[in-house]
């Protein structure tokens, strides 16, 4: 028997949900909130959300806010989140007059939950598809965690060859290589990543509570100020995505050796890392990456966690702005 229902696609449902969420006012008392007190009541610009389709037929959700003639800043999110993780940065830079763009990685957030292509090559190609579709030039690309790996591969393979990238920023980023190997003795053992895979396969919903409650934001440290809303938002973003993409993505962020990507990067590159990052330890990540890029600067944040873009948004936003404007 066939029943006739109103035509509601996953895309329209997600966009409607996003609009409804945006309409809900959030408390302004969070100590880590971006400093946008000088933001006008209405931020002018052509603000839109939509989808582009990649060459292999995958629908990628994106946000494109601000004046289209302004310098673009492109944000690349971490595992297993979405472009929503950049809210504090996108609003801050939008208020400063920039064009801000972010997309949900394939299988994450509102993008298509495809079975294949959950690797750095496809991540970078998808980012380039967004950049081409929006015709972004002279862009600054900022990546957090896995998104930092995406930025490194994108800049090396697409951004510089096409002349579309001005600067790059790697924040708490996974390159050069997270996995411990004979040639990378400072990496993390495979058992760590197998444990994350088991958590995704056995009870992803619980893992996505435990991770932000514990090491991601440093909420497991003594005297840490814990924000339940931040934990809930992490869980919300994660559960929007595909379990298959999250499972496969663990291999992408842990086993991809991006040494050659980093060596190929010639544009000014800022490497930002907290020295209390329990997820991507700084010694085998930020401190190595800055030595590999050709024009890099390392900024270390004492006591800051992996998710410092949220917990310390005011500090990082100011440093990002200074780097972009330099």
Domain annotation for the chain: domains and CATH numbers: 35-325 (3.40.50.1820)
pTM: 0.88
> Known catalytic residue: 145?
yes
51: tokens are 């989808």
Phi-psi region of 172 (alpha: psi -120 to 50; beta: other; left: phi over 0): left
Catalytic, 277? Answer yes
Report the mean per-residue pLDDT for the chain.
90
Instruction: Tell me which of 84, 85, 119, 277 is the catalytic residue.
Output: 277
Instruction: List, for residues 190-245, the tens digit of each pLDDT value.
Output: 999 999 999 999 999 999 999 999 999 999 999 999 999 999 999 999 999 999 99
Sheet holding 139-144, edge to edge: 48-53, 59-65, 99-103, 72-76, 139-144, 165-171, 269-274, 296-301
- In angstroms, the CA 79 to CA 151 distance is 14
Read off the tokens for 197. Answer: 């895979």
- Asked whether the beta carbons of 80 and 241 are under 8 A apart, the reply is yes
User: Is 306 annotated as catalytic?
Assistant: yes
Query: Dihedral of the CA atoms 271, 274, 280, 284 (nearest 10)?
Result: 60
Encoding tokens for residue 220?
Answer: 């497991």
Terminal C-alpha separation, the chain: 65
pLDDT at 55 over 70: yes
CA nearest to 256, candidates 181, 191, 161: 181
Alpha helices in the chain (DSSP H): 10-23, 87-95, 120-134, 146-154, 160-162, 190-211, 228-240, 243-255, 259-264, 286-292, 308-311, 313-325
Residue 227's alpha-carbon distances to 52, 274, 285, 316, in angstroms, are: 34, 19, 27, 19
Q: Are 309 and 316 in contact (CB under 8 A)?
A: yes
Phi, psi of 179 (to 5 degrees): -75, 140
DSSP conformation class of 84:
G
Check 145, 172, 242, 254 and give the catalytic one.
Answer: 145
Query: Which tokens hold the place of 209?
Result: 């509570």
17: pLDDT strictly greater than 50: no
Q: Are 79 and 238 in contact (CB under 8 A)?
A: no
Ranges 26-35, 101-110, 132-141: which has the least confidence: 26-35
């Amino acid at each position: 028997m066939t029943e006739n229902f109103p035509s509601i696609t996953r895309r329209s449902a997600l966009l409607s949900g996003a609009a409804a969420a945006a309409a809900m006012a959030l408390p302004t008392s969070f100590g880590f909130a971006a400093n946008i007190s000088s933001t006008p009541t209405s931020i002018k610009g052509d603000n839109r959300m939509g989808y582009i389709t990649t060459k292999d037929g995958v629908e990628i959700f994106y946000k494109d806010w601000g004046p289209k003639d302004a310098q673009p800043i492109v944000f690349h999110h971490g595992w297993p989140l979405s472009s929503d993780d950049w809210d504090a940065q996108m609003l801050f830079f939008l208020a400063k007059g920039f064009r801000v763009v972010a997309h949900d990685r394939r299988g994450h957030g509102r993008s298509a939950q495809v079975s294949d292509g959950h690797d750095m090559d496809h991540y970078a190609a998808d980012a380039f598809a967004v950049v081409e579709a929006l015709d972004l030039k002279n862009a600054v690309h900022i990546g957090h965690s896995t998104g930092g790996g995406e930025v490194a591969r994108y800049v090396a393979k697409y951004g510089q060859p096409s002349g579309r990238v001005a600067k790059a920023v790697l924040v708490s980023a996974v390159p050069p290589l997270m996995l411990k190997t004979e040639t990378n003795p400072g990496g993390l053992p495979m058992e760590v990543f197998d444990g994350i895979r088991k958590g995704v396969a056995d009870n992803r919903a619980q893992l996505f509570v435990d991770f932000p409650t514990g090491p991601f934001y440093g909420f497991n440290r003594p005297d840490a100020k814990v924000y339940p809303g931040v934990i809930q938002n992490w869980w919300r973003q994660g559960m929007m995505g595909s379990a298959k993409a999250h499972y496969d993505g663990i291999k992408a962020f842990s086993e991809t050796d991006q040494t050659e990507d980093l060596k190929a990067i010639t544009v000014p590159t800022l490497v930002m890392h907290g020295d209390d990052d329990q997820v991507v330890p700084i010694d085998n990540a930020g401190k190595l990456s800055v030595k590999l890029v050709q024009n890099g600067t390392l900024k270390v944040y004492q006591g800051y966690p992996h998710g410092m873009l949220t917990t310390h948004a005011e500090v990082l936003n100011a440093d990002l702005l200074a780097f972009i404007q330099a």
